[in-house]
Amino acid sequence: MRPATPRGFRDVLPREAAERAAVVAAVLSAFSGWGYDRVETPVVELAETLEAAASGLAGTAFRLFDVDGSLLALRPEMTVPIARLAASRLGDEARPVRLCYAAEVFREHESLRGQPRQFTQVGVELLGATGPAADAEVVAVLAEALAASCLRDFTIALGTVAVLQSILDASQAPEAWRASVLEALHQRNLVEVDRLAGAQGLPPEVSAALAAVPRIRGGAEAIERCRTYADACGCASVLDDLSLTWSLVTSVVSEERLVVDFGVMRGFDYYTGLVVEFYAPEVGVPLGGGGRYDGVLAAFGAPSPAAGFAIGLERLMIALVEQAAVIAVAPEPRLVSGSPAEAFVEAAKLRASGVRIALAPGEPAEPAPAAEPGRESER
Protein backbone atom coordinates (compact mmCIF):
# COMPACT_ATOMS: atom_id res chain seq x y z
CA MET A 1 0.00 0.00 0.00
CA ARG A 2 1.20 3.48 -0.83
CA PRO A 3 0.31 5.75 2.14
CA ALA A 4 -1.49 8.98 1.28
CA THR A 5 -3.56 11.62 3.03
CA PRO A 6 -7.25 11.80 2.06
CA ARG A 7 -8.42 14.44 -0.37
CA GLY A 8 -8.77 17.82 1.29
CA PHE A 9 -6.51 17.00 4.25
CA ARG A 10 -2.83 17.71 4.73
CA ASP A 11 0.13 17.05 6.99
CA VAL A 12 1.86 19.94 8.77
CA LEU A 13 5.62 19.54 9.15
CA PRO A 14 7.69 20.83 12.10
CA ARG A 15 8.68 24.30 10.89
CA GLU A 16 5.19 25.20 9.71
CA ALA A 17 3.66 23.70 12.85
CA ALA A 18 5.92 25.91 14.99
CA GLU A 19 4.95 29.01 13.01
CA ARG A 20 1.25 28.16 13.22
CA ALA A 21 1.53 27.68 16.99
CA ALA A 22 3.32 31.03 17.36
CA VAL A 23 0.65 32.86 15.35
CA VAL A 24 -2.19 31.20 17.29
CA ALA A 25 -0.50 32.12 20.59
CA ALA A 26 -0.17 35.77 19.49
CA VAL A 27 -3.80 35.96 18.40
CA LEU A 28 -5.08 34.30 21.59
CA SER A 29 -2.98 36.71 23.64
CA ALA A 30 -4.69 39.61 21.89
CA PHE A 31 -8.08 38.07 22.70
CA SER A 32 -7.07 37.62 26.33
CA GLY A 33 -6.11 41.28 26.53
CA TRP A 34 -9.75 42.13 25.82
CA GLY A 35 -11.01 39.77 28.54
CA TYR A 36 -11.86 36.75 26.38
CA ASP A 37 -11.41 33.33 28.02
CA ARG A 38 -10.50 30.26 26.00
CA VAL A 39 -12.86 27.27 25.79
CA GLU A 40 -12.79 23.95 23.96
CA THR A 41 -15.70 21.97 22.56
CA PRO A 42 -15.94 18.38 21.30
CA VAL A 43 -14.91 17.76 17.72
CA VAL A 44 -18.39 16.26 17.14
CA GLU A 45 -21.87 17.61 17.79
CA LEU A 46 -25.23 15.93 17.53
CA ALA A 47 -26.41 16.47 13.97
CA GLU A 48 -29.72 17.79 15.28
CA THR A 49 -27.82 20.52 17.16
CA LEU A 50 -26.45 21.95 13.92
CA GLU A 51 -29.78 21.63 12.15
CA ALA A 52 -31.67 23.38 14.96
CA ALA A 53 -29.37 26.40 15.00
CA ALA A 54 -28.42 26.85 11.35
CA SER A 55 -30.03 24.87 8.57
CA GLY A 56 -27.33 25.97 6.14
CA LEU A 57 -24.71 24.00 8.05
CA ALA A 58 -26.35 20.61 7.52
CA GLY A 59 -25.06 20.13 3.99
CA THR A 60 -21.45 20.90 4.89
CA ALA A 61 -20.93 18.49 7.79
CA PHE A 62 -19.25 15.08 7.84
CA ARG A 63 -21.80 12.72 9.42
CA LEU A 64 -21.33 9.47 11.28
CA PHE A 65 -23.22 7.13 13.58
CA ASP A 66 -21.79 6.14 16.94
CA VAL A 67 -22.25 2.71 18.55
CA ASP A 68 -25.43 3.95 20.24
CA GLY A 69 -26.96 4.81 16.89
CA SER A 70 -26.81 8.58 17.43
CA LEU A 71 -26.22 10.67 14.31
CA LEU A 72 -23.19 12.88 14.91
CA ALA A 73 -21.46 15.50 12.81
CA LEU A 74 -17.92 16.78 12.81
CA ARG A 75 -18.20 20.47 13.64
CA PRO A 76 -18.12 22.53 10.40
CA GLU A 77 -17.60 25.83 12.25
CA MET A 78 -17.40 27.08 15.84
CA THR A 79 -20.28 29.51 16.31
CA VAL A 80 -22.96 26.87 16.88
CA PRO A 81 -20.79 24.71 19.21
CA ILE A 82 -19.98 27.80 21.31
CA ALA A 83 -23.66 28.76 21.39
CA ARG A 84 -24.58 25.23 22.45
CA LEU A 85 -21.92 25.34 25.18
CA ALA A 86 -23.16 28.70 26.45
CA ALA A 87 -26.79 27.61 26.49
CA SER A 88 -26.14 24.28 28.21
CA ARG A 89 -23.23 25.08 30.53
CA LEU A 90 -23.07 28.83 31.16
CA GLY A 91 -26.68 29.70 31.82
CA ASP A 92 -25.91 31.06 35.30
CA GLU A 93 -22.91 33.15 34.22
CA ALA A 94 -23.28 36.91 34.36
CA ARG A 95 -23.64 38.50 30.94
CA PRO A 96 -21.87 39.42 28.81
CA VAL A 97 -19.71 36.32 28.43
CA ARG A 98 -16.51 36.63 26.39
CA LEU A 99 -15.17 33.39 24.94
CA CYS A 100 -12.41 32.55 22.47
CA TYR A 101 -11.08 29.40 20.82
CA ALA A 102 -8.60 27.83 18.45
CA ALA A 103 -10.03 24.67 16.93
CA GLU A 104 -10.04 22.36 13.94
CA VAL A 105 -13.24 22.33 11.88
CA PHE A 106 -14.30 20.01 9.06
CA ARG A 107 -16.43 20.56 5.97
CA GLU A 108 -17.43 18.13 3.30
CA HIS A 109 -17.14 19.38 -0.28
CA GLU A 110 -17.44 17.93 -3.72
CA SER A 111 -14.17 16.72 -5.18
CA LEU A 112 -12.62 20.03 -6.14
CA ARG A 113 -8.88 20.30 -6.45
CA GLY A 114 -7.30 22.15 -3.55
CA GLN A 115 -10.52 22.53 -1.57
CA PRO A 116 -9.67 21.94 2.12
CA ARG A 117 -11.92 19.76 4.22
CA GLN A 118 -10.08 20.39 7.49
CA PHE A 119 -8.87 23.78 8.66
CA THR A 120 -8.30 25.76 11.84
CA GLN A 121 -10.44 28.62 13.09
CA VAL A 122 -9.30 31.09 15.75
CA GLY A 123 -12.00 33.42 16.97
CA VAL A 124 -14.14 35.05 19.64
CA GLU A 125 -17.79 35.08 20.64
CA LEU A 126 -19.32 37.95 22.65
CA LEU A 127 -22.52 36.63 24.23
CA GLY A 128 -25.18 38.69 25.98
CA ALA A 129 -24.20 42.11 24.61
CA THR A 130 -25.90 44.01 21.84
CA GLY A 131 -25.86 47.38 20.16
CA PRO A 132 -23.15 49.40 18.40
CA ALA A 133 -20.71 49.28 21.34
CA ALA A 134 -20.71 45.47 21.32
CA ASP A 135 -20.35 45.36 17.53
CA ALA A 136 -17.50 47.86 17.68
CA GLU A 137 -15.75 45.78 20.34
CA VAL A 138 -15.80 42.72 18.09
CA VAL A 139 -14.32 44.66 15.17
CA ALA A 140 -11.67 46.29 17.37
CA VAL A 141 -10.63 42.93 18.81
CA LEU A 142 -10.34 41.56 15.28
CA ALA A 143 -8.12 44.45 14.14
CA GLU A 144 -5.82 44.03 17.14
CA ALA A 145 -5.60 40.26 16.66
CA LEU A 146 -4.66 40.56 12.98
CA ALA A 147 -1.97 43.10 13.85
CA ALA A 148 -0.69 40.83 16.64
CA SER A 149 -0.30 37.99 14.12
CA CYS A 150 2.31 40.15 12.29
CA LEU A 151 0.00 40.77 9.34
CA ARG A 152 0.95 44.23 8.05
CA ASP A 153 -1.54 44.84 5.27
CA PHE A 154 -5.20 43.95 5.76
CA THR A 155 -8.68 45.42 5.30
CA ILE A 156 -11.77 44.81 7.44
CA ALA A 157 -15.08 45.19 5.61
CA LEU A 158 -18.19 46.06 7.65
CA GLY A 159 -21.75 45.70 6.48
CA THR A 160 -25.18 44.78 7.76
CA VAL A 161 -27.65 42.21 6.51
CA ALA A 162 -30.44 44.25 8.07
CA VAL A 163 -30.67 46.78 5.25
CA LEU A 164 -31.15 44.29 2.40
CA GLN A 165 -33.49 42.17 4.52
CA SER A 166 -35.56 45.29 5.22
CA ILE A 167 -35.61 46.18 1.53
CA LEU A 168 -36.85 42.68 0.75
CA ASP A 169 -39.55 43.06 3.41
CA ALA A 170 -40.61 46.32 1.76
CA SER A 171 -41.03 44.52 -1.57
CA GLN A 172 -43.97 42.46 -0.28
CA ALA A 173 -42.93 39.95 -2.94
CA PRO A 174 -43.51 36.18 -2.70
CA GLU A 175 -41.26 34.26 -0.31
CA ALA A 176 -39.77 32.17 -3.11
CA TRP A 177 -38.56 35.30 -4.92
CA ARG A 178 -37.07 36.72 -1.73
CA ALA A 179 -35.27 33.43 -1.05
CA SER A 180 -33.80 33.54 -4.56
CA VAL A 181 -32.53 37.08 -3.99
CA LEU A 182 -30.90 36.10 -0.69
CA GLU A 183 -29.26 33.10 -2.30
CA ALA A 184 -27.85 35.27 -5.09
CA LEU A 185 -26.61 37.80 -2.54
CA HIS A 186 -24.91 35.09 -0.47
CA GLN A 187 -23.21 33.86 -3.66
CA ARG A 188 -22.37 37.46 -4.64
CA ASN A 189 -23.99 36.86 -7.99
CA LEU A 190 -24.88 40.45 -8.84
CA VAL A 191 -25.94 39.54 -12.37
CA GLU A 192 -28.65 37.31 -10.89
CA VAL A 193 -29.56 40.01 -8.35
CA ASP A 194 -30.04 42.49 -11.20
CA ARG A 195 -32.23 40.00 -13.05
CA LEU A 196 -34.38 39.42 -9.98
CA ALA A 197 -34.54 43.15 -9.26
CA GLY A 198 -36.11 43.62 -12.68
CA ALA A 199 -39.05 41.35 -11.89
CA GLN A 200 -42.44 42.70 -12.91
CA GLY A 201 -44.61 44.15 -10.20
CA LEU A 202 -41.80 45.21 -7.88
CA PRO A 203 -42.03 48.74 -6.46
CA PRO A 204 -39.52 50.84 -8.44
CA GLU A 205 -37.75 51.99 -5.27
CA VAL A 206 -37.15 48.33 -4.30
CA SER A 207 -35.77 47.49 -7.75
CA ALA A 208 -33.43 50.49 -7.60
CA ALA A 209 -32.27 49.64 -4.08
CA LEU A 210 -31.58 45.97 -4.86
CA ALA A 211 -29.52 46.92 -7.89
CA ALA A 212 -27.52 49.61 -6.09
CA VAL A 213 -27.06 48.69 -2.41
CA PRO A 214 -24.90 45.54 -2.86
CA ARG A 215 -22.47 47.65 -4.91
CA ILE A 216 -22.07 50.46 -2.35
CA ARG A 217 -18.61 50.50 -0.82
CA GLY A 218 -16.50 53.16 0.88
CA GLY A 219 -16.21 54.96 4.21
CA ALA A 220 -18.79 56.80 6.30
CA GLU A 221 -20.17 58.39 3.13
CA ALA A 222 -21.14 54.91 1.88
CA ILE A 223 -23.59 54.59 4.76
CA GLU A 224 -25.24 57.85 3.74
CA ARG A 225 -25.42 56.75 0.10
CA CYS A 226 -27.10 53.56 1.21
CA ARG A 227 -29.44 55.55 3.45
CA THR A 228 -30.86 57.31 0.38
CA TYR A 229 -32.05 54.00 -1.08
CA ALA A 230 -33.18 52.63 2.28
CA ASP A 231 -35.16 55.80 3.00
CA ALA A 232 -37.04 55.40 -0.28
CA CYS A 233 -38.04 51.92 0.94
CA GLY A 234 -39.02 53.19 4.37
CA CYS A 235 -36.21 51.48 6.31
CA ALA A 236 -33.43 54.06 6.72
CA SER A 237 -33.35 53.56 10.50
CA VAL A 238 -31.75 50.10 10.13
CA LEU A 239 -28.50 51.90 9.25
CA ASP A 240 -28.30 53.82 12.52
CA ASP A 241 -26.48 51.04 14.40
CA LEU A 242 -23.90 50.57 11.64
CA SER A 243 -23.26 54.32 11.51
CA LEU A 244 -22.55 54.46 15.25
CA THR A 245 -20.50 51.25 15.09
CA TRP A 246 -18.32 52.82 12.40
CA SER A 247 -17.84 55.93 14.52
CA LEU A 248 -16.77 53.87 17.56
CA VAL A 249 -14.45 51.58 15.61
CA THR A 250 -12.67 54.41 13.82
CA SER A 251 -11.86 55.99 17.19
CA VAL A 252 -9.41 53.12 17.85
CA VAL A 253 -8.73 51.57 14.41
CA SER A 254 -7.26 53.46 11.48
CA GLU A 255 -9.77 54.12 8.70
CA GLU A 256 -7.10 52.86 6.30
CA ARG A 257 -7.83 49.39 7.71
CA LEU A 258 -11.60 49.68 7.30
CA VAL A 259 -14.23 49.83 4.59
CA VAL A 260 -18.02 49.79 4.54
CA ASP A 261 -19.25 47.17 2.08
CA PHE A 262 -22.95 46.39 1.70
CA GLY A 263 -22.12 43.47 -0.57
CA VAL A 264 -20.89 41.46 2.43
CA MET A 265 -23.60 38.94 3.33
CA ARG A 266 -21.65 35.89 4.61
CA GLY A 267 -22.51 32.32 3.71
CA PHE A 268 -24.56 31.14 6.69
CA ASP A 269 -28.16 32.11 7.26
CA TYR A 270 -27.96 32.97 10.97
CA TYR A 271 -26.62 36.53 10.73
CA THR A 272 -29.06 39.23 11.89
CA GLY A 273 -27.17 42.56 11.76
CA LEU A 274 -23.48 43.44 11.52
CA VAL A 275 -21.43 41.27 9.14
CA VAL A 276 -17.67 41.41 8.83
CA GLU A 277 -15.09 40.03 6.40
CA PHE A 278 -11.37 40.71 6.29
CA TYR A 279 -8.82 40.44 3.54
CA ALA A 280 -5.15 40.60 2.68
CA PRO A 281 -4.30 41.85 -0.84
CA GLU A 282 -2.17 38.78 -1.60
CA VAL A 283 -5.03 36.31 -0.95
CA GLY A 284 -7.99 36.18 -3.31
CA VAL A 285 -10.52 35.03 -0.71
CA PRO A 286 -11.49 36.39 2.74
CA LEU A 287 -9.21 35.41 5.62
CA GLY A 288 -12.36 34.94 7.71
CA GLY A 289 -15.50 36.68 8.84
CA GLY A 290 -18.30 36.93 11.33
CA GLY A 291 -21.01 39.21 12.58
CA ARG A 292 -24.09 39.38 14.76
CA TYR A 293 -26.25 36.27 15.18
CA ASP A 294 -28.91 37.13 17.76
CA GLY A 295 -31.17 34.17 16.99
CA VAL A 296 -28.81 31.20 17.40
CA LEU A 297 -28.97 30.76 21.18
CA ALA A 298 -32.77 30.94 21.06
CA ALA A 299 -32.69 27.62 19.18
CA PHE A 300 -31.30 26.08 22.38
CA GLY A 301 -33.86 27.68 24.69
CA ALA A 302 -31.52 30.41 25.91
CA PRO A 303 -32.23 33.52 23.82
CA SER A 304 -29.37 36.01 23.96
CA PRO A 305 -27.74 38.51 21.62
CA ALA A 306 -24.36 37.41 20.30
CA ALA A 307 -21.62 38.42 17.89
CA GLY A 308 -18.19 37.13 16.95
CA PHE A 309 -15.75 36.26 14.18
CA ALA A 310 -13.41 33.47 13.08
CA ILE A 311 -9.99 33.81 11.48
CA GLY A 312 -9.02 31.04 9.04
CA LEU A 313 -5.52 30.12 10.17
CA GLU A 314 -4.43 28.52 6.89
CA ARG A 315 -5.40 31.59 4.86
CA LEU A 316 -3.78 33.87 7.42
CA MET A 317 -0.54 31.87 7.16
CA ILE A 318 -0.56 32.25 3.36
CA ALA A 319 -0.95 36.02 3.74
CA LEU A 320 1.89 36.13 6.26
CA VAL A 321 4.18 34.25 3.89
CA GLU A 322 3.25 36.55 1.00
CA GLN A 323 3.96 39.60 3.16
CA ALA A 324 7.32 38.13 4.25
CA ALA A 325 6.32 38.33 7.89
CA VAL A 326 8.94 37.24 10.40
CA ILE A 327 7.35 34.78 12.82
CA ALA A 328 9.35 34.18 15.98
CA VAL A 329 9.72 30.48 16.73
CA ALA A 330 12.01 28.50 19.04
CA PRO A 331 15.66 28.42 17.90
CA GLU A 332 17.26 25.28 16.56
CA PRO A 333 18.19 22.94 19.42
CA ARG A 334 21.76 22.87 20.71
CA LEU A 335 23.40 19.50 20.14
CA VAL A 336 24.74 17.86 23.29
CA SER A 337 27.25 15.09 22.69
CA GLY A 338 29.64 12.99 24.68
CA SER A 339 29.12 9.72 26.44
CA PRO A 340 25.46 8.97 27.21
CA ALA A 341 25.95 9.60 30.91
CA GLU A 342 27.72 12.89 30.29
CA ALA A 343 25.21 13.99 27.61
CA PHE A 344 22.14 13.36 29.78
CA VAL A 345 23.64 15.28 32.72
CA GLU A 346 24.76 18.21 30.57
CA ALA A 347 21.40 18.31 28.74
CA ALA A 348 19.52 18.48 32.04
CA LYS A 349 21.58 21.50 33.11
CA LEU A 350 21.00 23.28 29.80
CA ARG A 351 17.26 22.63 29.76
CA ALA A 352 17.00 23.93 33.33
CA SER A 353 18.58 27.18 32.14
CA GLY A 354 16.08 27.48 29.28
CA VAL A 355 18.21 26.16 26.44
CA ARG A 356 16.57 23.94 23.81
CA ILE A 357 18.70 20.82 23.33
CA ALA A 358 18.93 17.69 21.21
CA LEU A 359 20.89 14.70 22.42
CA ALA A 360 23.68 13.40 20.20
CA PRO A 361 25.66 11.11 22.52
CA GLY A 362 28.67 9.26 21.18
CA GLU A 363 28.89 5.51 21.32
CA PRO A 364 30.28 4.29 24.65
CA ALA A 365 33.87 3.06 24.54
CA GLU A 366 34.39 -0.71 24.57
CA PRO A 367 35.56 -1.77 28.05
CA ALA A 368 39.05 -3.33 28.17
CA PRO A 369 38.93 -7.13 28.75
CA ALA A 370 39.84 -8.16 32.29
CA ALA A 371 43.27 -9.85 32.66
CA GLU A 372 43.28 -13.47 33.77
CA PRO A 373 44.85 -14.05 37.17
CA GLY A 374 48.61 -14.43 36.93
CA ARG A 375 48.77 -13.21 33.31
CA GLU A 376 49.31 -9.80 31.77
CA SER A 377 46.77 -8.53 29.38
CA GLU A 378 47.48 -9.24 25.76
CA ARG A 379 47.83 -6.26 23.56
261 in the same domain as 129: no
205 in the same domain as 125: no
147 in the same domain as 9: yes
Q: Nearest to residue 313, comparing CAs of 7, 10, 5, 4? A: 10
Q: What is the CATH number of the domain that holds 56?
A: 3.30.930.10
244 in the same domain as 356: no
HEC per residue, 175-213: HHHHHHHHHHHHCCCHHHHHHHHCCCCCCHHHHHHHHHH
The answer to whether residue 270 is domain-embedded is no
Cα–Cα distance, 259 to 222 (Å, whole number): 9
147 in the same domain as 236: no
Contact in structure between 132 and 162 (CB atoms under 8 Å) = no
Give the count of domains, the chain.
Answer: 3
343 in the same domain as 321: no
184 in the same domain as 96: no
Enumerate residues 6+ apart whose C-beta is below 8 A from 227. Answer: 236, 239
The answer to whether residue 379 is domain-embedded is no
Q: Which domain holds residue 261?
A: 155-265
DSSP code of 325? -
219 in the same domain as 72: no
348 in the same domain as 208: no
366: Cα separation from own chain's centroid: 59
Helices (H) and strands (E) in the chain, counts: 12, 14
Per-residue pLDDT of the chain (379 residues; tens, 9 = 90+): 889 988 889 999 999 999 999 999 999 999 999 999 999 999 999 999 988 887 666 678 899 999 999 999 999 999 999 999 999 999 888 999 999 999 999 998 776 666 789 999 999 999 999 999 999 999 999 999 999 999 999 999 999 999 999 999 999 999 999 999 999 998 889 999 999 999 888 999 999 999 999 999 999 999 999 999 999 999 999 999 999 999 999 999 999 999 999 999 876 678 999 999 999 999 999 999 999 999 999 999 999 999 999 999 999 999 999 999 999 999 999 999 988 989 999 999 999 999 999 998 774 444 545 555 544 433 3
Q: What is the pTM of this model?
A: 0.89
The answer to whether residue 378 is domain-embedded is no
The answer to whether residue 272 is domain-embedded is no
| H/E element, 240 | helix 240-249
Cα–Cα distance, 277 to 291 (Å, whole number): 9
